[in-house]
């Protein structure tokens, strides 16, 4: 959510940003908000005027009583009785307008960073760099779902019966490999100075609306029927929510937190949910990192967090590339974002395994997260980044470390988390 003062002072800047994001349908919102805001300010002015008038009359009543003019004092008292009703009526109208203004403001996207390439969709995202050498073996690389079943590590058919499409059972060494990735990611982030947190997996609607746009909420979140609770789509939601309504000590910034959680996503309209496998599913586990920092340091942390992702995959031994997301591919709260993609030797192309985002003060404004330093109170900046989303990272390991007979060589950094095991063998 943007600062309404920017919209008041420079509505054309807001409209220009909407055009860069190819959201021309939202252009009328700017003028609608300004009209509502004008009415709000008139009501606020009237309230202040009524209060000032009430104070003035109260003072006059005291003076009349002091001077022995009881009749005049009573007359002023009668006049003063009407003022609270006027204030109350104005307050009711103003608060209704506040709700409308906030709802409309929350539909206006965050200002994009100057470095964001302009484009309509993810097809126009820009490759920044590649890390590691992508290889294609001379032998056939098995589909990860078929291989998982062949290794006795997954059961999709039973999960479809118990839960529906987009679910799976992980078993045996494949489930251990999944846990090894999460455990390794946790230790990696702790080593980098991030505090490890296991957050709540359910959050209230006010937190949901604070961390994401309405469109994301509708497409992603599962709501608990009859309760004001949603299943989280990522631990970022709970971790940012930790700071809701707080004013932190600016001297303690940045806050660096990493959290692991199950993630639940409806994936409304998502292509591939019907396909067997781990790529697009309704439930998975993910290690996330967030940073709450001073506005002057958010770009530095954006680059640092991306670097951490790259180094993690480099240590595991998976080639990756970074794509700078174009304006049309950015979710509304994001000022800047990059996708991290891993190499798929089977498909001979890269696929997304995580994303890093700088949301500047958009989430902080919605959730009222502030810092105080040297007597100044200001909104913080929030950032988030995927450390490991296990199903997709699992696919990357299964493909890049797959041997000719379908066995999987376990990456060296993961072997300690699997009891020293070096290979997942094909079972008869």
Global pTM reads: 0.89
pLDDT at 322: 97
Q: Which residue has the higher pLDDT, 213 or 240?
A: 240
Q: What's the pLDDT at 121?
A: 94
Rounded Cα gap, residues 44 and 40, in angstroms? 6
SS3 317: coil
Q: Domains in the chain, ordered, with CATH?
A: 4-105 (1.10.287.40), 122-424 (3.30.930.10)
Strands 222-223, 202-203: pairing is unpaired
DSSP assigned state of 402: B
Over residues 354-397, the pLDDT tens digits come to 999 999 999 999 999 999 999 999 999 999 999 999 889 999 99
Lowest mean pLDDT among 69-83, 132-146, 244-258: 69-83
pLDDT tens for each residue of 246-261: 999 999 999 999 999 9
Are 76 and 64 contacting, i.e. CB atoms less than 8 angstroms apart?
yes
User: Over 70: is that where the pLDDT of 3 sits?
Assistant: yes
């Amino acid at each position: 959510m943007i600062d309404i003062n920017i919209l008041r002072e420079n509505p054309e800047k807001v409209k220009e940003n909407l055009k860069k994001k190819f959201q021309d349908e939202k252009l009328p919102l700017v003028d609608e908000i300004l009209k509502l805001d004008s009415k709000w300010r008139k009501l606020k002015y009237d309230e202040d005027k009524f209060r000032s008038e009430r104070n003035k009359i109260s003072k006059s009543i005291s003076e009349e009583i002091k001077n022995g003019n009881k009749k005049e004092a009573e007359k002023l008292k009668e006049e003063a009785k009407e003022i609270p009703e006027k204030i109350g009526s104005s307050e009711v109208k103003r608060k209704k307008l506040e709700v409308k203004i906030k709802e409309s403001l929350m539909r206006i996207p965050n200002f994009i960073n100057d470095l964001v390439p302009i484009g309509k969709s993810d097809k126009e995202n820009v490759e920044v760099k590649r890390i590691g050498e992508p290889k294609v073996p001379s032998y056939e690389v098995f589909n990860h779902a078929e291989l998982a079943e062949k290794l006795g590590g997954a059961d999709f058919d039973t999960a479809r019966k118990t839960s529906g499409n987009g679910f799976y059972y992980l078993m045996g060494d494949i489930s251990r490999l999944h846990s090894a990735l999460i455990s390794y990611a946790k230790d990696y982030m702790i080593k980098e100075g991030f505090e490890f947190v296991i957050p709540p997996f359910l959050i209230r609607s006010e937190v949901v609306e604070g961390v994401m746009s309405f469109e994301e909420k509708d497409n992603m979140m599962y709501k608990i029927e009859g309760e004001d609770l949603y299943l989280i789509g990522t631990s970022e939601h709970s971790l940012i929510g930790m700071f809701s309504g707080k004013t932190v000590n600016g001297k303690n910034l940045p806050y660096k937190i990493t959290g692991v959680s199950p993630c639940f996503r409806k994936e409304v309209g998502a292509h591939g949910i019907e396909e067997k496998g781990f790529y697009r599913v309704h439930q998975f586990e993910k290690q996330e990192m967030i940073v709450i920092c001073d506005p002057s340091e958010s770009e530095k942390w954006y680059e640092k967090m991306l670097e951490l992702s790259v180094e993690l995959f480099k240590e595991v031994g998976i080639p990756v590339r970074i794509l700078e997301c174009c304006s049309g591919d950015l979710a509304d709260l994001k000022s800047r974002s990059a996708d991290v993609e891993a190499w798929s030797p089977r498909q001979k192309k890269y696929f997304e395994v995580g994303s890093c985002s700088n949301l500047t003060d958009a989430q902080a404004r919605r959730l009222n997260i502030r810092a105080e330093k040297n007597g100044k109170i200001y909104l913080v900046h929030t950032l988030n980044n995927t450390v490991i989303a296990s199903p997709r990272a699992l696919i990357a390991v299964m493909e890049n470390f797959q041997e000719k007979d379908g066995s999987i060589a376990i990456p060296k950094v993961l072997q300690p988390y699997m009891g020293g095991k070096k290979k997942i063998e094909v079972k008869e």
